[in-house]
Amino acid sequence: MAFTRRGFVLTGLAGTAALTLPAAAQNTPMPEELREAIERQAFAPVLGNPKGNITLTEFFDYNCGFCKASYPALVAVIRDDPDLRVVYREWPIFGDDSLAAARVSLATLKQGKYAPFHAAMMASKQRAAEATALRAAEAAGLDMAKLKADMGSSEVQDHIDHSFALGDHMMLAGTPTWIAGHGGAFGQQTEAELKALIAQARAELL
């Protein structure tokens, strides 16, 4: 599936209804092609159980305070649900610092250390930028020369472009946006709210 950079056009999906996810969860049936685009991009961070029976996707930015505030709830949900697959969609909408941090973050995937890096970034009180992200990566034990080379890889750029294309196609309101099944939510979520969204998705799809 092809995407235009910053053009936000999902080839093959132009005829589908847009899925809008404002503050309240929506239940518009999602076309399977769109679900695949959200959940199954080859180069995307996956936590929880990679073979889980339901997928929760979070569109986030490292400079989003509500994303950081939701992180402990998400960690608890992953801990309590062995059949949950979580996809992180890096969507750096808060400017150049966020974009640089996302490039560092995605590059950690090539060394298999996304999870500790992500946890450190979510715990940080500093503004996410290239310098702070590189410090977190070094603390997580990454090969820094390889990391800096990988930041410019086509896979990293494709993930970011893919997220912007999806965000525009679905008219997403911002970060964090959560999608599971045919439902979604926008903004900070509690553990109970995330579990309810996941339970609803299982009822719809399984």
Domain definitions of the chain by residue range: 32-205
Q: How far is CA 113 from CA 17, 20, 71, 104, 119, in A?
A: 37, 33, 18, 11, 10
What backbone phi and psi angles, to 5 degrees, belong to 127? Answer: -65, 135
Rounded CA gap, 30 and 10, in Å? Answer: 15
CATH number of 32-205: 3.40.30.10
Neighbours of 171 (CB within 10 A): 11
| In contact, 78 and 108? CB cutoff 8 Å | no
Other beta carbons less than 10 A from residue 33's beta carbon: 12
**pLDDT tens for the chain, residues 1 to 206:** 222 222 333 333 333 333 444 433 455 688 999 999 999 999 999 999 999 999 999 999 999 999 999 999 999 999 999 999 999 999 999 999 999 999 999 999 999 999 999 999 999 999 999 999 999 999 999 999 999 999 999 999 999 999 999 999 999 999 999 999 999 999 999 999 999 999 999 999 99
- The model carries a pTM of 0.88
